[in-house]
């Protein structure tokens, strides 16, 4: 393949990556803990969007439980966000391995 052809492909990949980044900002995933008593919503890029707590959790002495459930729900949402990002990446790159940090 000639150099200009490679540059054109790289440019196309870059614009696809930028479009994917914008799409990942608009996709949200929910993580839950405590049987749905805590829900954490993240963007597919991992930015925290919201935290929802069931009313029944909000009582004196439940602080430690609530904190643990938020951490657990966040981890659940983070796993889902990473799965979405991996799927989108595979679709954009056609399964080609990319150097770490390319997404920024």
pLDDT band, residue 88 (cuts 50/70/90): confident
Q: Which residues does residue 51 pair with via DSSP β-bridges, in sequence order?
A: 40
33-80 residue pLDDT tens: 999 999 999 998 888 999 999 999 888 888 899 999 999 999 999 999
Fold of the CATH domain 29-91: Ybab; Chain: A; (3.30.1310)
- How many residues comprise the chain? 104
Residue 104 predicted with pLDDT over 50:
no
pLDDT (0 to 100) of residue 3: 84
| Greater pLDDT, 66 or 89 | 66
Rounded Cα–Cα distance for residues 58 and 94 (Å): 47
Residue 33 parent element (H or E): strand 28-33
pTM for this predicted structure = 0.70
């Amino acid at each position: 393949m000639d150099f200009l052809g490679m540059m054109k492909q790289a440019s196309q990949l870059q614009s696809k990556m930028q479009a994917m980044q914008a799409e990942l900002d608009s996709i949200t995933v929910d993580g839950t803990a405590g049987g749905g008593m805590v829900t954490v919503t993240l963007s597919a890029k991992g930015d925290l969007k919201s935290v929802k707590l069931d009313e029944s959790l909000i009582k004196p002495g439940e602080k430690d439980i609530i904190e643990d459930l938020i951490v657990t729900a966040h981890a659940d949402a983070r796993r889902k966000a990473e799965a979405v990002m991996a799927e989108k990446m595979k679709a954009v790159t056609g399964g080609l391995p990319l150097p770490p940090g390319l997404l920024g």
